[in-house]
């Protein structure tokens, strides 16, 4: 069969989501952010809520998320996205409001905003990208950096005596009464991507249904920061990150 | 699987040559261009072995940049 | 609507005026001497009447970022705090200014630096009028001198903020916040509907309809050429505000031999000072800036040619005096009188200072 007979619109089974525009993404080759962006775009499209959705972008690598998804966006100060989302949702209770945050943004400078938004049970979805490193600023230690893991500010490996322990945010907010759904996912294989999409969909549905706060942690790679190829970074993540940050639902009420 | 036939179209200018689609493909259909590069200087992905494609879309799913469109027909 | 005259604290007047203005949201964190603002709002429960959202945040940092979120949606949102809390809010205020967003901030000033005191002060003049956070920006700064003005400046502040897409701040002090006076509360206005906001503030992030591009509110721009243009646009806005929105009050300035410049609670004290001076046959006028930024420089300069000296009386170590000196540009002697750390002077003290420093 000639390939041109296959490549016809009616035979299309997968393409870039409609809500992801053609702007070239600034992310490094192989970065997990792009995959998660696609999933969010698909979920918004499938739920038919693009006109009602407001995204809150973080400071960090995903600071320019607003350039890639064709919805209304607010750029937050570092770590403040959950506070901003709280107000946007309370002032517009019928809208879909979500934050998209990295580990420095959410788990270091924005820990207070995160925990208190969760504790108030704000009807928002928090998408948390945990790759154990500060990507945007050039690969410094994050609160989620693994013990012994090397970054530019712990060049000999994270030493708990000096730097404390890797912070498990999902376990923290699971204990907070305002959360209805806390899950940890990854996007490194087709199967994990399908599961992560279902998790994001549930988080968005919870927000629209007013069930409380949902937090979807995506354990991700930063192959540039980790100084590995994208394929090797995925393998390293499976072998090292998943032990500290195990996959699966922590809470689903 | 012989009654299913797939095809992959890579947006070669958008592709960053990260190799994740190549690794995700269960049928070793894809490869990175060994010498040729796109305008950004990346060795972009292409169908090296098109006959093996089953249109499973694994490549499309894992592509961070949304470069890949997948087609499938049942024969 | 029939006038309603009530007796209340300045802080309470802020809360009632906000509900009546049709404010969409208040986000705050308790701090003395302004906690009555949020307490009054919580007691009034406006979410059940006008639909106004009131939320006690986990910190001043969160509160101002909630204001930022609300402002992005084109909502009339506000916060209030006192000096140490306003320092914490500076991050968010800079982002609000850098994103060209309207909002209302209230600072009921107390003495500093640091934790300082809970007594009244005007030591945040520089912070409010010169920007406060990082970057080149200004806040429209309103200085109320009565409980009535606390109520009136809520509407004025919101209206100016929306007119120029720039944050406005009510710079009150502990005296104005805590003292009780009679006040005529403004009539109730309806909160704007989402359709009205979309029509009046097309930049608002309320969800992207199919017929427009996505709205993105951000202060980030990595291209220096564009960032410079953004700053030039901000400066043009500040120029328009300076040309159109200067407000001040003059008492007996026309034939005065001496001029006192004072704002807020200090201007109330100086009203008595100029009466005491008149009894002694000294002709002293009082110029009260109502907008501290933009500053009434021309009005002050006009008097520089006929007075023998100007006293800038402030509850601080000498802040507004710099703007007064810039305004008169060396034409006449300008001195400062101030009390610090929460002390409020008597009218006599001000008169004695005027005599000592200028006569």
Are the C-beta atoms of A199 and A108 separated by less than 8 Å? no
| pLDDT per residue as tens digits for the range A40-65 | 999 999 999 999 999 999 999 999 99
Q: Is residue C206 part of a domain?
A: no
Domain count, chain C: 2
Q: Which residues numbered 283-302 in C keep a CB inside 8 Å of some CB on A?
A: none
Q: What mean pLDDT comes out for the span C25-48?
A: 98
Which of A70, A76, A87 is opposite residue C208, by nearest beta carbon? A70
Tell me the C-alpha to C-alpha distance, in Å, between residue C291 and each of C96, C168, C287.
Answer: 20, 10, 12
Q: Domains along chain A?
A: 28-252 (3.40.50.970)
| pLDDT per residue as tens digits for the range C231-257 | 999 999 999 999 999 999 999 999 999
Q: Is residue C265 part of a domain?
A: yes
Q: Does B21 touch chain A (CB under 8 A)?
A: no
Residues of A in contact with C53 (CB under 8 A): 87, 90-91
Domain boundary among C171, C194, C217: C194
Q: What mean pLDDT comes out for the span A158-171?
A: 98
**What is the per-residue pLDDT for B2?**
62
Residues of A in contact with B70 (CB under 8 A): 12-15
C335-341: long-range contacts, CB 8 A cutoff, minimum separation 24: C335/C309, C335/C310, C335/C311, C336/C311, C336/C312, C337/C311, C337/C312, C337/C313, C338/C313, C338/C314, C339/C315, C340/C111, C340/C121, C340/C123, C340/C315, C340/C316, C341/C111, C341/C116, C341/C117, C341/C119, C341/C121
Q: Which residues numbered 46-75 in A keep a CB inside 8 Å of some CB on C?
A: 50-54, 56-57, 63, 66-67, 69-75
Task: Give the CATH number for residue C340.
Answer: 3.40.50.920
Domain count, chain B: 1
C44 & C110 share domain? yes
Q: Which domain holds residue B35?
A: 4-74
Q: Do chains A and C touch (3 or more CB pairs under 8 A)?
A: yes
- The C-alpha of A72 sits at a distance from chain B's nearest C-alpha, in angstroms, of 21
Q: What mean pLDDT comes out for the span C168-173?
A: 98
Backbone CA torsion sign across C95, C100, C103, C109: positive
HSE, CB side, 13 Å, CA atoms: give it for residue C263: 31
Q: What mean pLDDT comes out for the span C127-145?
A: 97
Report the residue of A19, A54, A65, A91 to disrupt the C interface, i.e. the one with the largest count of C CBs within 10 Å: A91
Q: Is residue C69 part of a domain?
A: yes
Are the C-beta atoms of A89 and A71 separated by less than 8 Å? no
Task: Give the CATH number for residue C108.
Answer: 3.40.50.970
Q: What mean pLDDT comes out for the span C122-126?
A: 98
| pLDDT per residue as tens digits for the range C186-215 | 999 999 999 999 999 999 999 999 999 999
Tell me the C-alpha to C-alpha distance, in Å, between residue C182 and each of A138, A228, C8, C157, C234.
Answer: 59, 71, 7, 21, 39
Q: Is residue C329 part of a domain?
A: yes
**What is the per-residue pLDDT for C1?**
54
Task: Give the CATH number for residue B67.
Answer: 3.30.70.20
Determine if residue C281 is left, alpha or beta; phi over 0 gives left, psi from -120 to 50 gives alpha, anything else beta. left
HSE, CB side, 13 Å, CA atoms: give it for residue C342: 12
Which of A51, A54, A91 is opposite residue C53, by nearest beta carbon? A91
pLDDT at C4 over 90: no
Cβ-based contacts under 8 A for chains A and C = 125
Q: What mean pLDDT comes out for the span A222-227?
A: 97
Confidence of residue B75 (pLDDT cuts 50, 70, 90): confident
Tell me the C-alpha to C-alpha distance, in Å, between residue C214 and each of A35, C115, C306.
Answer: 21, 43, 57
Which of C72, C77, C210 is opposite residue A74, by nearest beta carbon? C72
**CA B72/CA A3 separation, integer angstroms:** 10
Q: What mean pLDDT comes out for the span C105-118?
A: 97
Tell me whether residues A72 and C58 touch, CB distance under 8 A: no
Q: Does A89 touch chain B (CB under 8 A)?
A: no
Report the residue of A87, A92, A115 to disrupt the C interface, i.e. the one with the largest count of C CBs within 10 Å: A87
Q: What mean pLDDT comes out for the span A197-217?
A: 98
Query: Kind and range of the H or E element at A32?
Result: helix A32-47
Domain boundary among C164, C194, C224: C194
C128 & C256 share domain? no
Report the residue of C23, C67, C203, C207 to disrupt the A interface, i.e. the one with the largest count of A CBs within 10 Å: C207
Q: Which residues numbered 83-112 in A keep a CB inside 8 Å of some CB on C?
A: 83-88, 90-92, 95, 112
Residue A243 neighbours by CB distance under 10 Å: 9
Q: Is residue C47 part of a domain?
A: yes
- The C-alpha of A217 sits at a distance from chain B's nearest C-alpha, in angstroms, of 17
Tell me whether residues B19 and A25 touch, CB distance under 8 A: no
C169 & C96 share domain? yes
Q: Which domain holds residue C317?
A: 249-358
C267 & C159 share domain? no
- The C-alpha of A197 sits at a distance from chain B's nearest C-alpha, in angstroms, of 11
Report the residue of B49, B71, B74 to disrupt the A interface, i.e. the one with the largest count of A CBs within 10 Å: B71
pLDDT at C185 over 60: yes
C183 & C64 share domain? yes
User: What is this model's ipTM?
Assistant: 0.97
Residues of C in contact with A112 (CB under 8 A): 58-59, 61-62
Query: Kind and range of the H or E element at C259?
Result: strand C258-261
Query: How does DSSP assign C276-325, residue by residue?
Result: HHHHTT--EEEEEESEEES--HHHHHHHHTT-SEEEEEESSSSSHHHHHH
Average pLDDT over chain C reads 97
Residues of C in contact with A57 (CB under 8 A): 218
Tell me whether residues A32 and B75 touch, CB distance under 8 A: no
- The C-alpha of B70 sits at a distance from chain A's nearest C-alpha, in angstroms, of 5
C170 & C315 share domain? no
Which of A7, A187, A230 is opposite residue B19, by nearest beta carbon? A230
Decide: pTM greater than 0.90. yes
Tell me whether residues A116 and C92 touch, CB distance under 8 A: no
Q: Which residues numbered 78-137 in C keep a CB inside 8 Å of some CB on A?
A: 91-92, 95, 99
Q: Does C66 touch chain A (CB under 8 A)?
A: yes
**What is the per-residue pLDDT for C193?**
98
């Amino acid at each position: 069969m000639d390939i041109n007979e296959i490549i016809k619109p009616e035979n299309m089974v997968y393409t870039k989501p409609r809500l992801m525009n053609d702007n070239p993404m600034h992310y490094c080759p192989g970065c997990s952010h792009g995959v998660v962006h696609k999933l969010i775009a698909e979920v918004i499209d499938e739920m038919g809520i693009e006109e009602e959705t407001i995204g809150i972008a973080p400071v960090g690598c995903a600071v320019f998320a607003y350039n890639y998804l064709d919805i209304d966006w607010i750029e937050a100060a570092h770590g403040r996205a959950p506070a901003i989302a709280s107000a946007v949702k309370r002032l517009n209770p019928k809208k879909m409001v979500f934050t998209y945050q990295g580990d420095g943004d959410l788990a270091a400078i924005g820990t207070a905003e995160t925990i208190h938004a969760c504790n108030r049970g704000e009807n928002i979805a928090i998408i948390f990208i945990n790759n154990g490193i500060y990507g945007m600023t050039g690969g410094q230690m994050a609160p989620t950096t693994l013990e012994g893991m090397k970054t530019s500010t712990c060049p000999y490996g994270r030493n708990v005596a000096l730097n404390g322990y890797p912070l498990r945010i999902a376990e923290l907010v699971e204990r907070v009464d305002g959360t209805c759904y806390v899950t940890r996912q990854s996007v490194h294989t087709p199967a994990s991507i399908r599961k992560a999409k279902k998790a994001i969909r549930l988080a968005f549905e919870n927000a629209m249904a007013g069930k409380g706060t949902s937090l979807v942690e995506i354990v991700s790679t930063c192959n540039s920061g980790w100084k590995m190829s994208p394929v090797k970074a995925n393998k390293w993540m499976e072998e090292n990150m998943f032990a500290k940050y195990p996959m699966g639902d922590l809470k689903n009420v | 699987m012989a009654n299913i036939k797939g095809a992959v179209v890579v947006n070669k200018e958008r592709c960053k040559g990260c190799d994740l689609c190549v690794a995700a493909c269960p049928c070793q259909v894809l490869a990175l261009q060994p010498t040729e590069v796109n305008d950004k200087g990346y060795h972009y992905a292409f169908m090296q072995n098109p006959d093996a494609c089953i249109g499973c879309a694994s490549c499309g799913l894992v592509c961070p940049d949304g470069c890949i469109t997948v087609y499938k027909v049942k024969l | 609507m029939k006038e309603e005259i009530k007796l209340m604290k300045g802080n309470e007047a802020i809360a009632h005026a906000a509900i009546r203005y049709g404010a969409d949201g208040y986000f705050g964190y308790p701090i003395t001497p302004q906690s009555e603002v949020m307490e009054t709002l919580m007691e009034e429960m406006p979410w059940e009447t006008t639909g106004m959202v009131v939320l006690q945040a986990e910190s001043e940092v969160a509160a101002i970022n909630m204001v930022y979120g609300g402002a992005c949606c084109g909502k009339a949102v506000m916060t209030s705090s006192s000096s140490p809390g306003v320092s914490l809010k500076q991050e968010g205020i800079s982002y609000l200014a850098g994103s060209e967003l309207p909002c209302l901030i209230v600072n009921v000033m107390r003495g500093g630096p640091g934790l300082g005191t809970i007594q009244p002060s005007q030591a945040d003049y520089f912070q409010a009028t010169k920007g406060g956070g990082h970057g080149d920006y200004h806040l429209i700064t309103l200085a109320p001198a009565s409980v009535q003005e606390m109520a009136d400046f809520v509407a004025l502040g919101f209206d100016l903020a929306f007119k120029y897409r720039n944050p406005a701040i009510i710079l009150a002090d502990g005296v104005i916040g805590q003292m009780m006076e009679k006040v005529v509360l403004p009539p109730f206005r309806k909160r704007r509907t989402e359709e009205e906001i979309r029509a009046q503030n097309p930049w608002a992030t309320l969800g992207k309809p199919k017929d427009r591009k996505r709205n993105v509110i951000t202060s980030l721009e990595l291209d220096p050429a564009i960032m410079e243009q953004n700053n030039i646009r901000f400066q043009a806005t500040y120029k328009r505000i300076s040309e159109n929105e200067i407000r001040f009050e003059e008492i007996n300035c026309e034939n005065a031999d001496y001029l006192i410049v004072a704002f807020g609670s200090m201007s109330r004290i100086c009203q008595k000072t100029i009466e005491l001076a008149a009894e002694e046959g000294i002709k002293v006028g009082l110029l009260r800036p109502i907008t501290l930024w933009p500053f009434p420089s021309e009005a002050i300069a006009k008097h520089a040619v006929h007075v023998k000296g100007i006293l800038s009386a402030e509850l601080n170590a000498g802040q507004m005096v710099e703007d007064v000196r810039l305004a008169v540009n060396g034409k006449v002697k300008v001195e400062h009188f101030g009390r610090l750390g929460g002390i409020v002077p008597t009218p006599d003290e001000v008169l004695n200072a005027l005599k000592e420093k200028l006569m």
